[in-house]
Amino acid sequence: MWVNKLGVTLLLLVASGSQYVQSQQAKVLCYYDAANFLIEGLGKVSLADLDTALPFCTHLVYGYAAIDVETNKAVSRQPNLDLDTGKGNYRTATQLKGKYPSLKVLLGLGGYKFSEPSIKYLTLLESGAARITFINSVYSLLKTYGFDGVDLEWQFPMNKPKKVRSTLGGVWHGFKKVFSGDSVLDEKAEEHREEFTALLRELKNAFRSDGYQLGITVLPHVNSSIFMDIPAIINYLDFVNIAAYDQQTPARNKKEADHAAPLYELSDRVPGNNVDGQVRLWLTNNAPASKLIVSIPTFGRGWKMNADSGITGVPPLAADGPSDPGSQTQTEGFYSWSEVCAMLPNPSNTALKGAEAPLRRVGDPTKRFGSYAFRLPDSNGEHGVWVSYEDPETAGNKAGYVKAKTLGGIAINDLSYDDFRGSCAGEKFPILRAAKYRL
């Protein structure tokens, strides 16, 4: 009888195939930028505010450490907040493993929103001695504070912004770039590519005896094919987080509003500026699907609409710079999910007019591009806004894509911008929950 039961069990495992494997191993990387604790007002998010989220996470990535350009060491950006000599957040974060034993806590280094000069990251790569100093400092931070590894968000030069063009216009622009030479992001790209491989190899060797995890996040608009030798580095990495969001932002292109984090490629857009395009790039370069993580943003990007924007709201459309800041994040053209939710039609705003009037929501029935919402300008050309955003439904669609492709999991970036108070629908961290449930 025992043999028969075992046989049935094995048969079920074989029949379920990759879906069984993924359900057991899919990662949920939850990012937390501790700088959000320093915000005054409703945007302030502490480690204690994450308590409801952590049961859904396999990893907590606490960010962000930086590189000291004088010493080449990894250092805290906010020592008064992170270190034992200050508030002690590093140790508080890693001690969460006592409450959540299966949770891994990683140190995030680099970060996207800081836009540090890439030159100091490239200069560090060029020196073997500098790399050793950096590696020793990373190891020391992990060992001292009890982290389980590190996620590197290396600051390579980003591609220049590109407008959406007609086919003829795109061909002519590409022809001009061949002769203008402005497509060169880094004259020593080949050298830096090899040195980045060396850095990851040396880090992995330094981590081996302690079993520390090593992952990288490919930041938006960083061309992996230029700066990363994917077949060479993939064996040194436990995961690759593909941050395919912010493909269009008001900071990169003030005059053109468009989907910020599409799952698939839209027509007449820059090829590859979508989740599927980035995933396929790594898969075709022999990266195992099980190591690829898809990053899901918890925020939206907003532009001001003007008289040239049209009346349909269908992107891409003419815009006039970033929209006004929200009350929580206090950043032009940037909204947390709870801020977006408050701008969508609800019982408290349906009768409001002007700048307080709700936005018109346009969903994503194709499950390919994401949701957006807009409010047309008034007769004076004011109060118009267009926002591309992630919501629980589109986050679930991306998690469904990850499951269908048997990828390694998802990353939620950032827990601070999910609805951590449950102010929208009464449920805390709805984007994280919706994505987790679809894995």
Residue 310 belongs to some domain of the structure: no
**Nearest C-alpha neighbor of 25 from the set 66, 62, 58:** 58
Residue-level pLDDT at 428 = 97
Q: What is the pLDDT of residue 165?
A: 47
DSSP 46-61: -GGGGTTTGGG-SEEE
Tokens (6 digits) for 32: 């937390």
127: domain CATH number? 3.20.20.80
Q: Is residue 237 part of a domain?
A: yes
> Could you state, in chain order, the average pLDDT of each consecutive group of 10 residues for the chain (439 residues)?
36 38 75 94 94 98 95 96 97 98 97 74 96 98 98 92 54 38 76 98 98 97 95 98 96 96 91 94 97 98 96 97 94 96 89 85 94 95 96 98 98 97 94 97
> Rounded to an integer, what distance in angstroms lies between the CA atom of residue 295 and that of residue 375?
28
Amino acid at 433: R
- Output the pLDDT for position 355: 80
Three-state secondary structure call for residue 275: helix
Flag whether 329 is in a domain: no
DSSP 8-state code for residue 6: H
In a domain, 338, yes or no: no
Q: Does a structural domain hold residue 6?
A: no
Q: Is residue 183 part of a domain?
A: no
DSSP secondary-structure letter at 65?
Answer: E
Write down the pLDDT at residue 116. 63
Residue 122 lies in a domain: yes
For 284-428, where are the alpha helices, taking DSSP H only?
Answer: 337-343, 392-404
Phi and psi torsions of 336, nearest 5°: -70, 165
Please give the backbone phi and psi of residue 232, each rounded to the nearest 5 degrees, phi first: -80, -35
Compute CA distances 149 → 105, 231, 351, whole Å: 7, 22, 51
This prediction has a pTM of: 0.90
Whole-number Å distance between alpha carbons of 215 and 236: 9
- In this structure, the number of other CB atoms found within 10 A of the CB of residue 402 comes to 26
Is the residue at 172 inside a domain?
no
Residue 145 belongs to domain spanning: 27-160+188-298+390-438
pLDDT in tens, 28-73: 999 999 999 999 888 999 999 999 999 999 999 999 999 999 999 9
Peptide bond just before 288 cis, omega within 30 deg: no
Number of folded domains that form the chain: 1
